[in-house]
Chain A
Amino acid sequence: MNERDIAVALQQRLAMQEIAPLAFENHNAAPARPFIFVQHVPTVATARDVAGGSLERQGYMAATIVVPEGEFATGAMGIAIAIELLFPVGLRLTIDGGVVTIPRPVQQRTGFQDGQDYRLPVQVYYEARA
């Protein structure tokens, strides 16, 4: 079980629903607005035994919604709701060597102006166990 497989599982689920075009880190796309910029943020990796077995990994998928300036923020919030519905608490995704679980509701953070864009950060927390 590794972070790559966790990231792929989450991002594939997000891509499947075609909520909005996706842009990924280190993939210099400049899609038309609105789009979702996706970044994988691992935070904790622990082993429950000294042999390194029973791995647990935690982190979040940062899915930042980017819309043009001058629009109501509620448009971006609608996309955030769609993401929240896609990753309900208790959702389990099977990956090679483990299971990824969504342990708590998707978190919407404070939106902010960024040049000619408005960005609304959304975080999808995960826990993965081997």
Chain B
Amino acid sequence: MGTFAADVRALVQKRADALRYVAMQSIQDVVEAAQQPQLGITKGAASFVVGKIPVAEGELRASLRAQLLGGAAATGAESYGAVIAGYEIGGNFIFEWTAPHALPMEHGFTARNGSQVPGRHFVGANAARFSEFVNARVAEANAMMGDIQ
């Protein structure tokens, strides 16, 4: 009986570890994808890519502010890594880009000549892929730790 209880505890812990891994990695995947840079139009880019963050001087990318609720916030292009590392199941994050031009870059704006510039949707397009990232990480966790479904 003692052995059975220990086995159940070990199984539960294994599943909890796997769930934490999937959650952490999936969240990181979203933010990492949102921070994928593309040369900005003002820097001579030849194409316009939705889902990537435009980079001219790097101010927008560096304005990422990441915080696990209840913990300290971190700011910077790579700030999300250390913040996500502190995640426990049930935790909540805030990720925000605080540069003044963050919203126009995300959703689009009116250019000086009056034409409409489409949004980059570096946040929206990648947030919408969360399920895709979760599925990939579940498959990875299954391979590493056994079936967690």
B108 in complex: contacting residue of A29, A43, A46, A119, CB < 8 Å: A119
Contact: B110 with A117, CB < 8 Å? yes
Chain B proximity mask over A68-102: 1 for CB below 8 Å, otherwise 0 = 00000000000000000000000000000000000
Interface size on B, residues (CB 8 A): 22
> Which chain B residues numbered 101 to 140 have a C-beta less than 8 Å away from chain A?
103-104, 106-110, 114-116, 118-119, 121, 124-126, 128-129, 131-132
Would A25 and B107 be within 8 Å (CB), given that A44-B129, A60-B128, A62-B121 are in contact? Answer: no
Interface size on A, residues (CB 8 A): 28
A60 in complex: contacting residue of B103, B124, B126, B132, CB < 8 Å: B124
Rounded to whole angstroms, the CA-CA distance of A109 and B119 in the bound complex is: 13
CB neighbours of B132 from chain A (8 A): 44, 46
Query: Which residue numbers of A lie inside 8 Å of B, CB to CB?
Result: 23, 25-26, 28-30, 37, 39, 41, 43-44, 46, 58-60, 62, 64, 66, 109-110, 112, 114-115, 117, 119, 121, 123, 125
